[in-house]
Amino acid sequence: MSRPRVRLAACSLTFALTAFSASVWDGVYTPQQAERGQTTYREECSKCHGENLAGGEAGPALTGDEFLHKWIGKTAGDLFEKTRKTMPLEDPGGLSRRQYAAIVAYILKANDFPAGQKELVSELAPLNEIRIEAKR
């Protein structure tokens, strides 16, 4: 009787492992997009998260171990939505979706995830397929 459960568990695990089509290690943003994100970050985010994304009194670090510990196992969609719905603090959602995607691209670049040939999209469904991983 336990064999069907084992098969079901194996199928569920296989589905969970293949549900994502990309990771942040697959070059999911372009250098130009990250550069645009850096400009917007400096204008909109640096006063709380610091010039070097290391965090400050009003905002957590967006790079390094603190950032990775919080975001490993989540998706680029999770990061995009958290940013879009809560930032900037004085005007959550006040930027365009394109600007939020560029900021996320800049955050990925600052965490040494590689750039690629295609821009990070601003639609949630494809972003949810990009997992954030500490290692390749």
pLDDT digit string, tens, across residues 91-107: 999 999 999 999 999 99
Owner of token pair 């336990």: 2
Over residues 26-55, the mean pLDDT reads 97
Chain centroid to Cα 125, Å, comes to: 13
pLDDT (mean) for 50-64? 94
Percent of the chain with pLDDT over 90: 81
DSSP structural state of residue 76: H
Residue 57 confidence (pLDDT):
85
Burial class of residue 106 in the structure, from the number of CB atoms within 10 Å of its CB (0-12 exposed, 13-18 middle, 19+ buried):
buried
Which residues, other chains included, contact 33 with Cβ-Cβ below 8 Å and sequence gap of 6+? 101, 102, 105, 119, 120
Q: How confident is the model at residue 24 (pLDDT cuts 50, 70, 90)?
A: very high
pLDDT at residue 13 above 50?
no
Instruction: Determine which helix (DSSP H) or strand (DSSP E) holds 22, and give its type and residue range.
Output: strand 22-23
Measure the CA angle with vertex 84, ends 75 and 71; round to 5°: 30
Average pLDDT, rounded, for the chain:
89
Q: What percent of the chain has pLDDT over 70?
A: 85
21-131, CATH topology level? Cytochrome Bc1 Complex; Chain D, domain 2 (1.10.760)
Output the pTM of the full model.
Answer: 0.85
| pLDDT in the model for residue 18 | 45
Residues 6 or more apart in contact with residue 79 via CB below 8 angstroms = 71, 104, 107, 132
Query: Is the pLDDT score of 3 beyond 60?
Result: no
